[in-house]
Chains A and B, each alone.
Chain A
Amino acid sequence: MKHFEYADEKITDKELMIAMPSVVIGVGILSMPKKIATETEAADGWIPLVVAGLLFLFMSWGFAKFVAQFPNQSFLEYSSRIIGRRASILIIIGYAILVVLGIASQVRGLADVAKEYLFDQTPIEVVGLLYVLLVIYAVCGSRAALFRMSMLFFPIVISITLIVLAFSMKEFELGNVMPAFTTDTKGYFEAMKSSIRSYIGFGIILFYMVLVKRPAKAPKMVAIGMVIPIVVYILLYVVIIGIFGNAITSNLIYPTVELAKNVSIPGEFLERFESIFFVIWIMATFTSSILFLDAGVYGLTSILGNNRKIPIVLILSPLIYFVSMVPEELQYVQLFGMVWGYSLLIYTLSVVSILMIVAKIRGMI
Chain B
Amino acid sequence: MKRTALSLCIIVALLTGCWDVIDIEDRGYIIGTAIDLKERKGEGAYSLALTNQFVIPGNMTSAPGEGGGGSKPFTNITVDGESLMIINRKMGAESSRLPFYGHLKMLVVSEDIAKEKDLFAGVLDLFIRMQEMRRDIKLIIAEEEAKDVLSVEPDIEKIPALYLDALSENSSKTMSMLAPVTVGDVHGFLLNHHSYALPMLKKKVDKLVQYEGAAVFSGKGNKLVGSLNDQETKSLNLVTKPFKGGTIEFEMDGHPSVYELEFSKPDIKVKTKDPQSISVEVSVTTEGSMAEMFGSKSLINEKEISKIRTILTKKLEDQINALINKLQHELNADLIGVNSVLEQKHPDIWKQIKDDWEQGEDLFSQVDIKVKATAHIQSVGASDRASDGGGKE
- Which residues from A are CB-within-8-Å of B191? 247-248, 251
How many residue pairs link A and B with beta carbons under 8 A? The number is: 50
User: What's the minimum C-beta distance from B391 to chain A, rounded to whole angstroms?
Assistant: 54
B187 near A248 with CB under 8 A, answer yes
Interface-lining segment among A9-17, A50-58, A112-120: A112-120
B343 near A245 with CB under 8 A, answer no
- Which residues from A are CB-within-8-Å of B14? 130, 133
A159 in contact (CB, < 8 A): no
Bound-state CA distance A28–B258 (Å) is: 57
Bound-state CA distance A262–B131 (Å) is: 12
- Which residues from A are CB-within-8-Å of B347? 41, 179, 182
Bound-state CA distance A113–B136 (Å) is: 21
B1-48 with Cβ < 8 A to chain A: 14, 18-20
> In chain A, what residue has the closest Cβ to B340?
A175
- Which residues from A are CB-within-8-Å of B343? 178-179
| 7 closest residue pairs by CB, A with B | A178-B344, A247-B191, A122-B19, A121-B19, A179-B347, A182-B347, A119-B20
> In chain A, what residue has the closest Cβ to B21?
A121
Bound-state CA distance A126–B136 (Å) is: 32
A81 in contact (CB, < 8 A): no
30 contacts across the A-B interface (CB closer than 8 A): A116-B131, A117-B131, A118-B20, A120-B20, A121-B20, A122-B18, A122-B19, A122-B20, A126-B19, A133-B14, A175-B344, A178-B343, A178-B345, A179-B343, A179-B344, A179-B345, A179-B347, A244-B184, A245-B188, A245-B192, A247-B188, A247-B192, A248-B184, A248-B188, A251-B187, A258-B135, A261-B134, A262-B134, A262-B184, A272-B102
Bound-state CA distance A178–B18 (Å) is: 46
A119 near B19 with CB under 8 A, answer yes
A264-278 with Cβ < 8 A to chain B: 264, 271-272
> In chain A, what residue has the closest Cβ to B192?
A247
Contact flags (1/0) for B89-114 with A, using CB distance below 8 Å? 00000000000001100000000000
Contact flags (1/0) for B291-322 with A, using CB distance below 8 Å? 00000000000000000000000000000000
Q: Report which A residues bind B (CB closer than 8 A).
A: 41, 116-123, 126, 130, 133, 175, 178-179, 182, 244-245, 247-248, 251, 258, 261-262, 264, 271-272
- Which residues from A are CB-within-8-Å of B19? 119, 121-123, 126
Bound-state CA distance A261–B128 (Å) is: 13
Bound-state CA distance A272–B103 (Å) is: 10
User: What's the minimum C-beta distance from B218 to chain A, rounded to whole angstroms?
Assistant: 17
> In chain B, what residue has the closest Cβ to A259?
B135
Bound-state CA distance A144–B103 (Å) is: 44
A130-B14, A272-B102 known; 15 other A-B pairs, CB under 8 Å? A117-B131, A119-B18, A119-B20, A120-B20, A121-B19, A179-B343, A179-B347, A182-B347, A244-B184, A244-B188, A245-B188, A247-B192, A248-B187, A262-B184, A264-B136
Contact flags (1/0) for B320-343 with A, using CB distance below 8 Å? 000000000000000000001001
- Which residues from B are CB-within-8-Å of A247? 188, 191-192
- Which residues from A are CB-within-8-Å of B345? 178-179
User: What's the minimum C-beta distance from B270 to chain A, rounded to whole angstroms?
Assistant: 13
User: What's the minimum C-beta distance from A296 to chain B, rounded to whole angstroms?
Assistant: 25
Bound-state CA distance A244–B134 (Å) is: 13
Bound-state CA distance A251–B129 (Å) is: 11
Bound-state CA distance A248–B136 (Å) is: 14
- Which residues from B are CB-within-8-Å of A272? 102
> In chain B, what residue has the closest Cβ to A129?
B14
Bound-state CA distance A271–B347 (Å) is: 38
User: What's the minimum C-beta distance from A214 to chain B, rounded to whole angstroms?
Assistant: 40
Contacts A179-B347, A245-B192 given: A262-B18 contact, CB under 8 Å? no
User: What's the minimum C-beta distance from B27 to chain A, rounded to whole angstroms?
Assistant: 13
Bound-state CA distance A126–B344 (Å) is: 48
Bound-state CA distance A121–B14 (Å) is: 16
Bound-state CA distance A360–B362 (Å) is: 67
Of A119, A247, A272, most B-chain CB atoms within 10 Å: A247
Contact flags (1/0) for B172-199 with A, using CB distance below 8 Å? 0000000000001001100110000000
Bound-state CA distance A121–B18 (Å) is: 9
Bound-state CA distance A121–B22 (Å) is: 11
- Which residues from A are CB-within-8-Å of B344? 175, 178-179
User: What's the minimum C-beta distance from A135 to chain B, rounded to whole angstroms?
Assistant: 15
